[in-house]
Amino acid sequence: MKEIIKNALILMAITLTAGLALGAVHEITKEPIEAQEKKTKEEACKAVFPEAESFEAWTDFDAEAALELLASAGFSADKVDEVSLAEDEKGEVLGAVLNLTSTEGYGGNISFSMGILKDGTVNGIKILSISETAGLGMRATEESFYGQFAGRKVENFSYTKTGATADDEIDAISGATITTRAMTNGVNAGLAYFSEGLVKGGVIHE
């Protein structure tokens, strides 16, 4: 009986020590991880809105309301994660940066930042995280693909495998239709939210 109690106490001590060690490691790494995440987001904002002087998080952003809005617009596989307002040196709003996630990727979720000017023109796209097939879907990270969206003011984008001939068309990634569709739908979801949630909601004034 004494041996059982002894072993139980030893096991308890080991568990407690391990728990304390894990807690300490978490606290040590928490700040660097948060700092890196903040830096990544700031760099993404600057990449999709280089002319902006600063970016202010939209504090009234409602993730649940955004999900409902996108679902009603036919984008149930996409979600808006964050919204920041891009401002010039005078504090004038130039547009918005949306962080979006598409759940339609071939290898999992695809997260990206999307800059949109006040008039609805796509200002830029920056992939934040993606795990598509190397040599195929991962080509979505190449500017030759995501750069197709920039500088265009359209209601919706579509993709084609035979060569884009209109402003609202982009060339699909060869051999990666699923990834192309995920990105195209994600961008369209961003445009829908910008129009319905920010412009019509009075947050952005054209």
| 98 within 8 A of 49, measured Cβ to Cβ | no
Question: pTM for the full model?
Answer: 0.83
What's the token pair of residue 111? Answer: 């997260």
Find where tokens 């060869």 sit.
Answer: 174
| pLDDT, averaged across the chain | 91
Structural domain contains residue 42: no
Structural domain contains residue 28: no
Note the pLDDT tens digit of each residue in 135-167. Answer: 999 999 999 999 999 999 999 999 999 999 999
Note the pLDDT tens digit of each residue in 87-121. Answer: 999 999 999 999 999 999 999 999 999 999 999 99
Question: Is the per-residue pLDDT at 179 higher than 70?
Answer: yes
Structural domain contains residue 17: no
Full domain range(s) for residue 193: 54-199
Note the pLDDT tens digit of each residue in 118-133. Answer: 999 999 999 999 999 9
Question: Is the per-residue pLDDT at 52 higher than 60?
Answer: yes
How would residue 32 be classed by pLDDT, with cut points 50, 70 and 90? confident
The strand pair at 169-171 and 158-160 is best described as parallel
**H-helix segments, the chain:** 2-48, 63-72, 143-146, 177-193
Structural domain contains residue 66: yes
Task: Tell me how crowded residue 178 is: count the other CB atoms within 10 A of its CB.
Answer: 17
Question: Is the per-residue pLDDT at 8 higher than 90?
Answer: no
Count Cβ neighbours within 10 Å for each residue of 105-140 and write b for 16 or more, e otherwise. Answer: bbbeebbbbbbbbbebebbbbbbbebebeeebbbbb
Structural domain contains residue 157: yes
Percentage of residues in the chain having pLDDT higher than 90:
78
The distance between the two most distant Cα atoms of the chain, rounded to a whole number of Å, is 83
Structural domain contains residue 34: no
Rounded distance between C-alpha atoms, residue 14 and residue 65, angstroms: 46
Compare 147 and 27 and report the one with higher pLDDT.
Answer: 147
For the chain, how many structural domains are there in total?
A: 1
One-character DSSP codes across 90-131: T--EEEEEEEEEES--SSS-EEEEEEEETTS-EEEEEEEE--
Is 171 exposed, middle or buried, given 0-12, 13-18 or 19+ CB atoms closer than 10 A?
A: middle
Structural domain contains residue 35: no
Rounded distance between C-alpha atoms, residue 6 and residue 4, angstroms: 5
Question: Is the per-residue pLDDT at 26 higher than 60?
Answer: no
Structural domain contains residue 37: no
